[in-house]
Copies of this chain bind each other. A is one copy, B any other.
Amino acid sequence: MSKIFVDACFGKKTPYTPVWMMRQAGRYLPEYMKVRAEAGDFLSLCRDPKKACEVTLQPIDILGVDAAILFSDILVVPMEMGMELKFVKGEGPLFLSPIKSEEDLDRLCIEEAAKRLEYVYEAIRLIRGELEASKALIGFCGAPWTLATYMIEGKGTKTYALVKKLIYTNPKFMHKLLKKVTEVIKLYMENQIKSGVDAVMIFDSWAAALEEDAYFEFSWSYMKEISTFLKSRYPEIPVIMFPKGISGYLDRIDGEFDVFGVDWSTPIELAKEKLGDKYVLQGNMEPTRLYSKEAIKEGVEKIVKVMKNQRHIFNLGHGILPDIPVENAKYFINEVQTQTKI
């Protein structure tokens, strides 16, 4: 059965512009909070295929979005490579022993990591089994740069001082780390596809940490390596690239993939001008507009106006925030599906 989301990824005409939201299976949903409480903590939820399946499907039922995105976290990859991970309440993720030396790096595994991620593949099989045939399931991973940053810094950072010190003083080591992560991700994404996802998305959440030349050397090249690998083997699976916050670098974006994810800080007109002929665009409503129905309506209208007759998938320009009223999220989805109806 054809899926409106997948059709749109390949630039085919669809009865309306499909829509989903980053972090749509998340804390703003009371139903999610209930399952998460049962699971105990965030990581246990990621490792529990049945519960991960349950929360992945919630926004389909509650909001009527056109695609489900696998519930998981980008950091399960370095964790299963051998790095101990904790989620500290109110502070976010923490790797207890960040990478400091060649030995630390050599200790991490590749094939074994891809195998240990079996709980993700099992969740995908469960979800695809329950999800209606007309809806797509999106698999995902973090970009090697974003993952490597966490692996070096150990946690979130404002300055990226450790990892950026590394790229300017020991770029060889940084490339070794990035290559290793890239190898795991290729296996991981291939397994996600074999388990049943209908599309994949690569999140480069920390793309904006790098100056232009460094971005293309240390991040985009590895994202492209992954997308080229996947498109050569699975041309029927759309690949979505999402480098967050690099509106100044769009002239140099290239490669084999289908959809470019536009974050809210990149004007959609600019993305259309620079990339609209080559790629389908996904995005990019400012997520805090969801605090107000008036702001939602206006935000959707502005984007619809720019993207009229253009290949487009609707989304927020970043994840939905935990204190957004569910009613407003529903209103957003409905506005898109109504305003874009042919």
Q: List residues of chain A with CB under 8 Å of any chain B CB.
A: 156, 158-161, 164-165, 167-169, 208, 211-214, 245, 247-249, 264-267, 270, 286, 288-289, 291-292, 294-295, 302, 317, 321, 323
- Asked whether, in the complex, the Cβ of A267 is within 8 Å of the Cβ of B288, the reply is no
- Asked whether, in the complex, the Cβ of B248 is within 8 Å of the Cβ of A292, the reply is no
Chain B positions within 8 Å of A248 at CB level: 247-248, 265-267, 270
- Asked whether, in the complex, the Cβ of A168 is within 8 Å of the Cβ of B264, the reply is no
* Known interface pairs A168-B292, A248-B248; 15 further A-B residue pairs with C-beta atoms within 8 A, sorted by A's residue number: A156-B158, A160-B288, A164-B286, A164-B288, A168-B289, A168-B291, A168-B294, A169-B292, A211-B264, A211-B317, A212-B267, A214-B286, A245-B265, A247-B247, A248-B266
In the bound complex, what is the Cα–Cα distance between A266 and B295 (angstroms)? 29
In the bound complex, what is the Cα–Cα distance between A248 and B156 (angstroms)? 25
In the bound complex, what is the Cα–Cα distance between A211 and B159 (angstroms)? 22
Chain B positions within 8 Å of A267 at CB level: 212, 248-249
Nearest neighbor of A164 in chain B, beta-carbon distance: B288
In the bound complex, what is the Cα–Cα distance between A248 and B271 (angstroms)? 9
In the bound complex, what is the Cα–Cα distance between A163 and B168 (angstroms)? 36
- Asked whether, in the complex, the Cβ of A265 is within 8 Å of the Cβ of B214, the reply is no
* Known A265-B248, A266-B248; contact A291-B211, beta-carbon cutoff 8 A: no
CB distance from A205 to the nearest CB of B (A): 12
In the bound complex, what is the Cα–Cα distance between A216 and B294 (angstroms)? 19
